Amino acid sequence: MDEYEEMYGIEDDFEQQFADELEVVAELDSDDPQGGPLCPSTGRSPPRGKLSAWRIREPRSFEEALASADELLGAQSTTSTHSAPGGLQGTTGLTAEETKELEAFTGKQESLTPKPKRRRQDVAKKLQFGCTDDEWDDARVHSRWGIVTLQHSCTLDISGLVALPSPSRSIDTSQKHVLRRPPPMGDFITVTDSAGNRVYLAQKEEEDPTKAVDARALRNSHYSLGLLSVPVEVLREQVAEKHHQQLVEESQRLTNMLSRRLDGDSRVMDSAELLDDEQEAVEDGKDAASLLWVDRFSPTRYTELLSDDFTNRCLLKWLKLWDTVVFGREKPSRKTKAPQADGRLQSKEQQNSRFKSKTQMTEEILEAELDQYHRPKYKVALLSGPPGLGKTTLAHIIAKHAGYNVVEMNASDDRSAELFQKRIDMATQMKSVLGANEKPNCLVIDEIDGAPSAAINVLLATLNRKESWDTDSEASGVTALKKKKKKESVLLRPIICICNDLYVPALRQLRQQAFILNFPQTQPSRLIQRLAEISRHQGMRVETGALMALCEKTDNDIRSCINTLQFLHGRGQRQLDQRAIQSVKVGLKDQNKGLFSIWQEIFQLPRTKRKRIGNNGFSAAEVGSLSSAGDQRLQHIVHLASSSGEQEKLTNGLYDNFLSMKLKDPSLRGVCQALEWLSFSDLLNEAVMHLQNFSLARYLPFLPAAFHLLFAATSVPRISYPNSQYEAIAKMQHTKNALVALLAEVPPSIRSRVDPRCLSMDILSLLLDIICPKLRPVNPQLYSTREKQQLVELIDTMLCYSLTYRQDRTPEGQYIYLLEPNVEEAVRFPGVPPRRQLTYQAKQMIARELELERMRRAEAALLSRNLPQEENQEKETKTEATKGKVDQAGVRNHQQRLENIIKQTVTETKPEVDFFGRVIVLKEKPEVNKASGEPEKVNAELLMGRAVSNSDVWFRFNEGVSNAVRRNVYVKELL
């Protein structure tokens, strides 16, 4: 207070009056960063930094203000390096002497300018905590609730309202805790010194982790407002982790590079390669995070392969067989086996040779002699097996290991035969010219099962070029030039083909000419080891049980396993147990199992697996939560069925085979349920197909699951390919066609009352009985009148429905008469006694009668059509007296037709010539009845020939071949 009075010469009642309130306000508004000037009366900073000192002091005159400003400027210019207003002093780091000098200097200016504020150190000393000046300099106030650190010349302002300029934040916080008055909120501790001065230390709770969580929750509520989608802590963690990972990868890469260089087996890497690798390393560092693990951890050496050793060795051996022709190395001569002394042993071996194992056969192929061009017997190796087992990787590594430059092509992509040819030629006839060590090419054709037959034929032609060369070599010297040309095109490089399905029809021929290697499943132990390595490398802790579960889930598919691990790693899962693997939905392979294996899995119970060691990590509750074995089976079958894209065929297979399974219940309840399921599935299918309601399609895979639960047995089921549906459809189509053909010929009066459904359901069966009357096997001439009548009715009925009998020959060579159209099949039901059949003779007689009747009717129809014409002609004949008898009797049908034909025919009359080409002059010219005045008729007669025009019989001959059944017809039969 006295200092304030010194400075301004007045006493501020306001401060005294409202000291408590001001302190409380100051307490609340304690985050003035600069500290602000001290309150002159209390030695504390005023409630609000901006308002305090200058606002409350007395107003000065203009001259006073100018003078003080001048003085202040002068002082600043001299002490510009030292002076800092108020609380900033501490930051200048002045020594005690310098401070004193500064005080002396400012003391001289007192009369002109307002006094600078007293340093806080002095104010603090006034409290007299019993510390000397030096002690104050280094004093540290420790408390449970916070640390107050006083460093160097920094002073303690116990008011707690002035922010001390301090390098550490602890002072700032401590200022809030040492108060002159009890804090308005929270607990505090009272401290009284020997002089009776009392201060209050605000009590601050130690940081509670739950509070931190609360803070986070609070922040989360802010995030929900859309401020930051990911908490900042998580972001920080991610950045740190990424950084760490990059470092780990970088170090790993460098280690690999070093080990590769040091590796004795590996070839010496030239400087260019090293440079490349280093560059790669830099690039990889960038891309490492985005790289797929399957690519990053792809094996680079033979020893890193996971595939079966026998397969690896066989392929390598086969490739080595090419060494003679490709590298010019001699094939190492094989040791001939010592002749067996024991005759008995020899005979035993001979016996065994009849039953060779697959391994023996493979080895025999590999030991077979080379052909005349020093190539192995099989020019192409065919690797087959399920996807993701590392076939392509194996081909690449083995080819590289054997010293080849690998050229890969994908047969599914390059599908045209020309492109196929071009690529094969390029790969097998050209040489890599890039790089210091040029290597011969080895062609790897991936996915050959996806290639069309034309492309496979191109490959086969390439393999068999040798033959064409041989024939040429045997030919005479004329083809010698060609020979040389062809010799170059003989295949001299190895080709490795890779496929998933060895038995696609297009590969049939290639199979016979290829060295086939079936890729077995990867051994789980090896795969688990590799997966453990990868996960460890990536900082994941994965239990062995979890890895086993993963291998099982993916059918030991390397690609699927590694991809699943990467996926889980990407989701931030660093620790994996068996349950995590089982609960995750990824990792299920896009399996495309064959239909037979699916049917087999449906009708066969899975073999119970041995309980694994370390698999008992579940508590009782966990075991309870796991789905039962039945549930798992059901899920497996549902998954299997939905992954096969051929739902209809799958259902057909179930339908055709389920009755041949071993049925457990004698009451056949299972069969009834299965039939219900089938009809339900049929309805579903109909709804999906007809109504386009594809949401129902998800229920279709439950049919196989139901069949599995109903019929699965431990024994291996015998499954046949389903044909019944195809046969049924073909039969139905055939029957429909017969009915349509029948109705098409039926007269409209009947057709209007008969539709195909009514015909097949109501009429046909009875009709077939009607057309099989009892007829005596005698000549129809001998039939009684009743029998004749019956025959007439039969013929009439058959004609009405356009039925007839057609002669046919059975495969055994027997002649039979078949109903035409053969609607008999439409009403022939299996298990029903066959209906009575007419004899061959009866059918023959009926067929003949039908034919005759048809002709008669046709003629009658024609006649009836011609009748009006005839009437007209009759009228004409009456008027024309010159008309002959023929006209009076009416123009005959055949004559009319003949005349029409003649009118239409344009005949060129050529003069008759003799053998020497001279025109023959006719001696007797036909007489022209000029009197009758009918030149046209004479002409017509001339053209027709007298015999025809005057005859009642004429025939027309159509030139050409006829396959019609011929029989002799006498003219008298026609009359």
Ligand X SMILES: Nc1ncnc2c1ncn2[C@@H]1O[C@H](COP(=O)(O)OP(=O)(O)OP(=O)(O)O)[C@@H](O)[C@H]1O
Binding-site ranges for ligand X (CB under 6 A): 294, 297-299, 304-306, 387-393, 498, 500, 530, 558-559, 562
* Peptide bond before residue 821 is cis, with ω within 30 degrees of 0: yes
Report in angstroms how near the CB of residue 555 gets to ligand X at its nearest: 12
What residues contact 467, with CB distance under 8 A and at least 6 apart?
Answer: none
Report in angstroms how near the CB of residue 388 gets to ligand X at its nearest: 5
Residue placing its CB nearer to ligand X in the complex, 455 or 558? 558
Comparing CA positions, the residue from 482, 440, 178 lying closest to residue 329 is: 440
Report in angstroms how near the CB of residue 704 gets to ligand X at its nearest: 26
Report in angstroms how near the CB of residue 522 gets to ligand X at its nearest: 8
Report in angstroms how near the CB of residue 294 gets to ligand X at its nearest: 3
Comparing CA positions, the residue from 309, 308, 310, 284 lying closest to residue 297 is: 284
Residue placing its CB nearer to ligand X in the complex, 643 or 725? 643
Residue placing its CB nearer to ligand X in the complex, 393 or 651? 393
Report in angstroms how near the CB of residue 601 gets to ligand X at its nearest: 21
The set of long-range contacts for 543-549, using a CB threshold of 8 Å and a minimum separation of 24, is 543/576, 543/577, 543/578, 543/614, 543/617, 544/614, 545/577, 545/578, 545/612, 545/614, 545/615, 545/617, 546/576, 546/577, 546/578, 546/580, 546/581, 548/524, 548/578, 548/612, 548/615, 549/578, 549/581, 549/582
Residue placing its CB nearer to ligand X in the complex, 402 or 710? 402
Report in angstroms how near the CB of residue 149 gets to ligand X at its nearest: 57
Residue placing its CB nearer to ligand X in the complex, 22 or 517? 517
State which amino acid sits at residue 826: A
- Bridge partners of 480, per DSSP, are none
- DSSP string for residues in 885-901: HHHHT---HHHHHHHHH
Report in angstroms how near the CB of residue 311 gets to ligand X at its nearest: 11
Report in angstroms how near the CB of residue 731 gets to ligand X at its nearest: 41
Compute the distance between CA of residue 851 and CA of residue 804 in angstroms, rounded to an integer: 9
Enter the tokens of residue 54.
């200058």
- DSSP string for residues in 47-67: SSTTTHHHHHSPPPPHHHHHH
Residue placing its CB nearer to ligand X in the complex, 302 or 680? 302
Report in angstroms how near the CB of residue 408 gets to ligand X at its nearest: 11
Residue placing its CB nearer to ligand X in the complex, 386 or 717? 386
* Residues belonging to the chain: 975
Contact 164, 155 (CB under 8 A): yes
The set of long-range contacts for 36-40, using a CB threshold of 8 Å and a minimum separation of 24, is 36/86, 36/87, 36/162, 36/163, 37/85, 37/86, 37/117, 38/86, 38/117, 38/118, 38/120, 38/123, 38/162, 39/15, 40/1, 40/3, 40/4, 40/7, 40/8, 40/12, 40/15
Residue placing its CB nearer to ligand X in the complex, 530 or 553? 530
> How many angstroms separate the Cα of 323 from the Cα of each of 326, 330, 369?
5, 8, 13
Report in angstroms how near the CB of residue 534 gets to ligand X at its nearest: 7
Residue placing its CB nearer to ligand X in the complex, 499 or 510? 499
Residue placing its CB nearer to ligand X in the complex, 52 or 500? 500
Residue placing its CB nearer to ligand X in the complex, 390 or 821? 390
Contact 517, 314 (CB under 8 A): yes
Report in angstroms how near the CB of residue 361 gets to ligand X at its nearest: 23
Enter the tokens of residue 534.
């990868």
Residue placing its CB nearer to ligand X in the complex, 395 or 738? 395
Report in angstroms how near the CB of residue 375 gets to ligand X at its nearest: 26
Helices (H), 84-228: 89-92, 96-108, 120-126, 133-137, 169-175, 209-223
Helices (H), 293-336: 293-296, 309-320, 323-326
Report in angstroms how near the CB of residue 409 gets to ligand X at its nearest: 13
Q: Residue 922 carries which DSSP code?
A: P
Query: Burial code of 259-275, b = ≥16 C-beta within 10 A, e = fewer?
Result: ebeeeeeeeeeeeeeee
Residue placing its CB nearer to ligand X in the complex, 38 or 498? 498
Report in angstroms how near the CB of residue 561 gets to ligand X at its nearest: 9
β pairing state of 495-499 and 380-384: parallel
Residue placing its CB nearer to ligand X in the complex, 163 or 547? 547
Residue placing its CB nearer to ligand X in the complex, 199 or 294? 294
DSSP element (H, E) containing 581: helix 578-583
Enter the tokens of residue 843.
């059918």
Compute the distance between CA of residue 718 and CA of residue 699 in angstroms, rounded to an integer: 27
Residue placing its CB nearer to ligand X in the complex, 537 or 574? 537
Enter the tokens of residue 176.
């809030």
Report in angstroms how near the CB of residue 214 gets to ligand X at its nearest: 47
Comparing CA positions, the residue from 68, 49, 72, 71 lying closest to residue 59 is: 68
Cα torsion at 749, 753, 756, 760 (round to 10°)?
-110
Comparing CA positions, the residue from 454, 442, 594 lying closest to residue 510 is: 454
Enter the tokens of residue 230.
């990911």
Comparing CA positions, the residue from 443, 459, 453, 455 lying closest to residue 504 is: 453
* Strand runs labelled E in 509-598: 514-518, 541-542, 575-576
Report in angstroms how near the CB of residue 289 gets to ligand X at its nearest: 18
What residues contact 808, with CB distance under 8 A and at least 6 apart?
Answer: 815, 816, 817, 818
Residue placing its CB nearer to ligand X in the complex, 26 or 445? 445
